[in-house]
């Protein structure tokens, strides 16, 4: 498998940095992932949920 930075369909201009878990706690005011996801969704903040159930956003 190619490292993501060498993947032919992804170039460096499309790669972004994900927010840290500490930043997500700071913007949502919640420490639990389920509560963070609820707050993000309620406020219309685009995010994804990883395989561990944690929200990820840029």
Find out whether 35 and 28 touch, Cβ atoms under 8 Å. yes
pLDDT value of residue 11: 61
Closest CA to 54 of 39, 27, 32: 32
Extract the residue ranges of the chain whose pLDDT is less than 70.
1-15
Domain ranges of the chain: 18-56
């Amino acid at each position: 498998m190619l490292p993501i930075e060498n993947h032919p369909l992804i170039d460096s201009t499309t790669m972004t940095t994900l927010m840290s878990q500490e930043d997500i706690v700071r913007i949502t005011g919640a420490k639990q992932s389920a509560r963070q996801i609820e707050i993000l969704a309620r406020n219309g903040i685009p995010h994804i949920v990883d395989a561990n159930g944690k929200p990820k956003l840029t």
